[in-house]
Amino acid sequence: ITCSAENKTVVIGLAADSGCGKSTFMRRLTSVFGGAAEPPKGGNPDSNTLISDMTTVIYPPELTKPPKILVIEGLHPMYDERVRDLLDFSIYLDISNEVKFAWKIQRDMAERGHSLESIKASIEARKPDFDAYIDPQKQYADAVIEVLPTQLIPDDNEGKVLRVRLIMKEGVKYFNPVYLFDEGSTIGWIPCGRKLTCSYPGIKFSYSPDTYYGNEVSVLEMDGQFDRLDELIYVESHLSNISTKFYGEVTQQMLKHADFPGSNNGTGLFQTIVGLKIRDLYEQLIASKVGAPLEATRS
Ligand code: ADP
């Protein structure tokens, strides 16, 4: 954490409850930065502070003495104001209870042999701490990825088809929110048809300005899932401010990691896009620090 006082380290906070996709997000982020990374280091096991989170340092490969990006990843990176103030950008993965439950069942029951009752009990037992120390952090995040049950299937309770919202704070330096068709407008878009294959229940995008915990935000939403990932280029070509370096980079990343959880829906798409936005922010921040050495120390 002291690294952030140095000139050339960009510090990112990534917060979510356990089992909510932090490792998956880190893998997507690392890939966007070119794949070079230090193995994650555990927090100090003796520490009884809230800052017992994992940190990952990513070294972009193309430079010999590269500036660094430090990701503070865990349950509470935005809880303490002193830590929050060190962050150049922060992300909260907000998985609704219904979806969290569906994922836990998938992982703990199918893969680890736990019973439904014990999974329910462990979620219930964690709930007070989650409500008090984890969930409140989302108000401070620059970007929130909210994962909800679909609205395309009436009374869906399977938790397989997801409605995912990317909530992006306005006015954050070096971060220009992604938009669909027309910045600041309210848009609904069903891309299924000639250029995108959709099976039931289809795909629906929306985009609109909104407020979130008193902050102005832009919200991009995707409900449904992709049948064919290679056709994602059609969706990508209609999004703006996605911070790609070449046409089709989002689709390329999604295809490259098609085996990661969430690659056929908005969780994978928005995690990939946020990864590209962080790369962009990182490059702009480093350029500004190199260009103005006297302003390099953050006040
Ligand atoms: P964390 O690092 O926060 O504990 P992981 O990225 O390791 O979370 O994900 C934990 C598990 O949750 C995965 O093995 C998978 O079963 C499930 N999961 C995570 N992200 C998704 C997703 N986008 N869609 C479906 N399941 C997911």
pLDDT at 256: 97
pLDDT at residue 85 greater than cutoff 80: yes
pLDDT at 283: 94
∠ CA 203-91-250, nearest 5°, is: 45
262 within ligand 1 shell (Cβ under 6 A): yes
**C-beta separation of 13 from 72 below 8 A:** yes
288 vs 245: which has the higher pLDDT: 245
Tokens of 219: 């919200």
- Percent of the chain, pLDDT > 90? 67
pLDDT at 6: 46
Count how many domains the chain has.
1
136 within ligand 1 shell (Cβ under 6 A): no
**C-beta separation of 104 from 121 below 8 A:** no
| CA 265 to ligand 1 centroid distance, Å | 13
Domain limits at 185?
A: 2-293
Instruction: Report, as an integer, the average pLDDT of 29-38.
Output: 81
Residue 298 resides in a domain: no
Atom of ligand 1 nearest to the CA of 19: 4
Residue 58 resides in a domain: yes
DSSP string spanning 98-109? HHHHHHHIIIII
Residue 1, amino acid: I
pLDDT at 274: 98
Tokens of 272: 């990939």
Within 160-265, where are the H helices?
A: 232-236, 249-256
Instruction: Report, as an integer, the average pLDDT of 111-136.
Output: 89
Q: Which of 103, 119, 166, 270 to mutate to test the pocket of ligand 1 (most atoms within 8 A of CB)?
A: 103
Residue 299 resides in a domain: no
Which residue has a Cα nearest atom 16 of ligand 1? Answer: 107
Residue 179 resides in a domain: yes
Chain-wide mean pLDDT for the chain?
A: 87
The model's pTM is 0.88
ipTM above 0.95, yes or no: yes
Instruction: Report, as an integer, the average pLDDT of 165-170.
Output: 98
